[in-house]
Amino acid sequence: MYVVGRYSDILSAQEAAAFLRSHGLPAGVSGGLYSPSDGMWGFPTTALPYRVLVARKDQRALARHLLAEIDSEADEPATNWEAQSRPDLARLDQELIPPCPACGGRLSPTDELCSACGLAVDIVELMLETHGPEGLAQCYPDPDEQVHLSEEEWVALDLPCTACGYSLAGLPFVGVCPECGCRYSKTIEPS
């Protein structure tokens, strides 16, 4: 896997990877964790960027060209952003949905009107009032769901050791660098 872009937030990285996939390039997102090599007693202290990765070396130039297109279009106002930011209520646990405020009837995630009394309801607003924003967390995809690499792809991932720069290609996802003996994880970006 080869890094073709770095982003400070997960949404921008996911958007870039999705754009590459829409153009036929297998792409994923990795990173956004903390570097273990710079903290006291091994505790992380430095946040790292999210990386957009492509599978093959020969795909790098095209991927970077396509990502440059996204950057040049970034100044244009987004369209349909409100619909895209709406939570996926199909993921919602049915037991968490509050009852109708008027009659106490049971609501479903797709209801716009209470089936018992006909009151117009906004399930998102009811969830926010009852459970706060945390109640809707399950309605959004987990960022970790975005990286779907096989074990072979993780082994082939050519990232340098965070401590000495040694190539980790051919080594497992997590392990000990054969060059310097430091622990590594292939989701950690070198500092």
Whether 54 is in a domain gets the answer yes
- In order, the DSSP letters of 13-36 are HHHHHHHHHHTT--EEEEE-SEEG
pTM metric for this prediction:
0.37
Are both 61 and 101 inside the same structural domain?
A: no
Whether 190 is in a domain gets the answer no
Are both 126 and 161 inside the same structural domain?
A: no
Higher pLDDT, 91 or 147: 91
The residue with tokens 């072979």 is 152
Domains: count for the chain: 2
pLDDT in tens, 73-119: 665 555 666 666 778 888 888 888 999 999 999 998 888 899 899 99
pLDDT in tens, 17-31: 989 988 889 998 887
- In order, the DSSP letters of 103-128 are T-----TT-SB-TTT--B--HHHHHH
Are both 15 and 47 inside the same structural domain?
A: yes
Are both 74 and 92 inside the same structural domain?
A: no
Are both 151 and 121 inside the same structural domain?
A: no
Are both 98 and 41 inside the same structural domain?
A: no
Are both 33 and 93 inside the same structural domain?
A: no
Domain that holds residue 91: 87-135
Whether 21 is in a domain gets the answer yes
What is the C-alpha separation between 174 and 161, in angstroms, rounded?
11
Q: Which residues of 72-101 are buried (b: 16+ CB within 10 A; e: fewer)?
A: eeeeeeeeeeeeeeebebeebeeeebbebe
